[in-house]
Amino acid sequence: NAGVTQTPKFQVLKTGQSMTLQCAQDMNHEYMSWYRQDPGMGLRLIHYSVGAGITDQGEVPNGYNVSRSTTEDFPLRLLSAAPSQTSVYFCASSWTGLAINEQFFGPGTRLTVL
Amino acid sequence: DAKTTQPTSMDCAEGRAANLPCNHSTISGNEYVYWYRQIHSQGPQYIIHGLKNNETNEMASLIITEDRKSSTLILPHATLRDTAVYYCIVRVAIGNAGNMLTFGGGTRLMVKP
């Protein structure tokens, strides 16, 4: 199993550009989520999904969209990039949305917005 | 979810036990204690979790005080690869409310040769 994979590893955008961060998992997990981590800080939840076709907002959803058309994939879209979105983005998955389940994290995407 | 307090940083000699404390004095009866760690530039990694009994797995042991207001993560024989930021997280285990893990500042553990 590859676990949770994320692409790209690094990305530089100009203000106002849009892009999609890809996340995929091959563990048949129902629950997937996106976090961002700013330098020296903990992780903050952006959006999450408890199954295909179901998404919801986390702690810091503004400026981001998500969709979940398949169990495996959970892309994160930046609609109009801003310097404040410079961060490291982590995707995570677990069997269900129950907190008791261990979350598996991807390697992260390092995004810089100029 | 209950708030947690951890020391900002700790050092440990290689081969010795690393004991990482966490204070969660406002924990409620249905909240579990979770530990994750984040090795530099990588995604967080689950270590262990518990409710009120002590727990052990291949990575670590978790000791929870009887009043559940604090806990200690023990890495029995720390290696250089255990150098990481360790996060103590407290939250309820049931309910499909986003499975959000609230990561605070964590403890930066430096294992030294």
Determine whether the interchain pair A97/B105 forms a contact, defined as Cβ–Cβ distance below 8 Å. no
> What is chain B's mean pLDDT, rounded?
90
Q: Is B8 on the interface with A (CB under 8 A)?
A: no
- Does residue B34 come out as left (phi exceeding 0), alpha (psi in the -120 to 50 range) or beta? beta
* A107 upstream amide cis, omega within 30 of 0: no
Q: First and final CA of chain A: distance in angstroms?
A: 36
- Count other Cβ atoms within 10 Å, centred on residue B25: 12
Tell which of B99, B103, B107, B108 to mutate to test the A interface (max A CBs under 10 Å): B99
- The full DSSP string for B59-104 is S-EEEE-TTSSEEEEEETT--GGG-EEEEEEEEESSS-STT-----
Residues 10-69 of A with CB under 8 A from B: 31, 33, 35, 41-45, 48, 50, 56, 58-59
Q: Is B9 on the interface with A (CB under 8 A)?
A: no
Q: Tell me the C-alpha distance between B104 and B89, whole Å.
A: 8
pLDDT over 70 percentage in chain B = 91
B110–chain A nearest CA distance, Å:
16
Q: Tell me the C-alpha distance between A44 and A58, whole Å.
A: 8
**Which residues of chain B neighbour A108 with C-beta distances below 8 Å?**
41-43
Q: What is the pLDDT of residue B97?
A: 54
Determine whether the interchain pair A105/B43 forms a contact, defined as Cβ–Cβ distance below 8 Å. yes
Enter the DSSP assignment of B97. Answer: S
Q: What is the pLDDT of residue A62?
A: 95
Nearest to A6 by CA among A114, A105, A106: A106
Q: Name the phi and psi angles at A85, rounded to 5.
A: -90, 5
User: Which regions in chain A score pLDDT beneath 70?
Assistant: 97-100
Q: Tell me the C-alpha distance between B94 and B32, whole Å.
A: 10
Give me the amino acid identity at B50: G
> How confident is the model over B76-101, as a mean pLDDT?
81
Q: Tell me the C-alpha distance between B98 and B73, whole Å.
A: 25
Nearest to B90 by CA among B46, B50, B58: B50
**Which residues of chain A neighbour B92 with C-beta distances below 8 Å?**
99
Nearest to A56 by CA among A97, A106, A103, A98: A97
pLDDT band at B1 (very low <50, low <70, confident <90, very high): low
